[in-house]
């Protein structure tokens, strides 16, 4: 099952729990060769096939995390070099625009390889997704919870790529959780997930590999209130802006170079947050594999629950808070509503 963590929006590095309860927290990293050696000896000595299946999942997550780490380190190296070049050019009367553009274009090409080089584990916001492909988040123009839960009642009929249509009743009298559940039930079969951000705003996501084909294929037919009736209309979809967009960096004059430098510094900070999150994922996966090699899966899960409760109930201390808060970042009432709507 997926475990995700990384930076979300523009907040500090974010850590969450996988659906099977696997914790992601810690900070350490070794090389790929060493990890493979550890994984080779990870078969549990007790507990049978159940524990081995779980350690195999951890193996896959660890491999994905290490691919993501290699990619992040390469991007950090290139960005640091570009930052140094930009800083140096600001001290010179004449800019080496050609040289700066070459570095910028190389960074843009590296960003385009993000999905392949990170084994699909890093999304466009540098969030780490372990055990499941990274997802593309987007908004659909005309679909927001305020309009879907107020005004005249209407039935919206959704279809993806000419597939079976699915109807959702919206309008006054429909609760927010009902609207959210209806959208998930209608769009879920097509791989589209309806979500709420930390501010309660409605958004959607799909697997990154499905994003290109989804655009123009997701249609809606209304009753003339929020959307026209008759022929289904394509929904206007807008992707979440990527964390790094090298095409925005201009180097024609000193003012543009200064703006590009500020953007590069923000990108470096974001990558450093993701690097720390990946370090934590790798360390925790190794710790879990080590535990599974000595005990069965059920005992490990019970031990984890006891350990988490013990940390949570300790007296106030910043070190304890520092361990728990990253794991709880992003768990707002809106995210809970979104998860419940998937049931």
Contact predicate 130/18, CB 8 Å: yes
Q: Pick from 294, 278, 336, 296: which is nearest to 14 by CA? A: 278
- What is the structure's pLDDT at 33? 33
- Are the beta carbons of 61 and 3 closer than 8 angstroms? yes
DSSP structure class, residue 27? -
Shortest CA distance to 134 belongs to which of 207, 205, 69, 58?
Answer: 207
pTM: 0.68
pLDDT in tens, 155-214: 999 999 878 999 999 999 999 999 999 999 999 999 999 988 777 889 999 999 999 999
Segment 37-61, tens digit of pLDDT: 333 333 344 444 444 455 677 788 8
Are 135 and 194 a contacting pair, CB within 8 Å?
Answer: no
260-307 pLDDT per residue, tens: 999 999 999 999 999 999 999 899 888 877 777 676 656 656 766 676
DSSP secondary structure, 29-43, as one string: ---HHHHHHHHHT-S
CA nearest to 69, candidates 343, 279, 335: 279
């Amino acid at each position: 099952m997926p475990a995700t963590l990384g930076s979300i929006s523009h907040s500090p590095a974010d850590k969450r729990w996988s659906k099977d309860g696997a914790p992601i927290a810690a900070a350490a990293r070794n090389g790929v060769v060493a990890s493979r050696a550890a994984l080779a000896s990870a078969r549990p000595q007790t507990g049978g096939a159940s524990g081995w299946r779980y350690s195999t999942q951890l193996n896959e997550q660890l491999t994905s995390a290490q691919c993501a780490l290699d990619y992040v380190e390469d991007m950090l190296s290139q960005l640091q070099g570009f930052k140094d070049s930009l800083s140096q050019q600001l001290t010179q009367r004449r800019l080496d625009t050609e040289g700066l553009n070459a570095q910028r274009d190389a960074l843009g090409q590296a960003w385009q390889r993000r999905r392949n080089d990170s084994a699909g584990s890093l999304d466009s916001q540098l969030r780490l997704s372990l055990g499941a492909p990274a997802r593309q988040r987007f908004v659909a123009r005309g679909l927001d919870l305020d309009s879907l839960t107020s005004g005249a009642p209407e039935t919206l009929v959704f279809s993806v790529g000419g597939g079976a249509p699915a109807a959702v009743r919206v309008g006054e009298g429909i609760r927010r959780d009902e609207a959210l559940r209806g959208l998930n039930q209608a769009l879920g079969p097509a791989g589209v997930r309806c979500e709420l951000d930390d501010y309660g705003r409605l958004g959607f996501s799909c697997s990154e590999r499905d994003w290109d084909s989804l655009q123009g294929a997701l249609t809606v037919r209304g009753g003339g209130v929020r959307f026209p009736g008759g022929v289904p209309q394509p929904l206007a979809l807008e992707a979440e802006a990527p964390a790094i967009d090298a095409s925005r960096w201009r180097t024609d004059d000193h003012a543009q170079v200064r703006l590009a430098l500020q953007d590069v510094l923000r990108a470096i900070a974001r990558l450093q947050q993701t690097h720390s999150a990946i370090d934590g994922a790798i360390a925790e996966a190794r710790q879990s594999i080590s535990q599974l090699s000595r005990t069965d899966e059920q005992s490990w899960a019970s031990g984890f629950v006891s350990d988490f409760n013990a940390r949570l109930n300790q007296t106030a201390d910043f070190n304890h808070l520092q361990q728990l808060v990253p794991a709880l970042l992003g768990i707002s009432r809106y995210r809970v509503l979104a998860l419940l709507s998937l049931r």
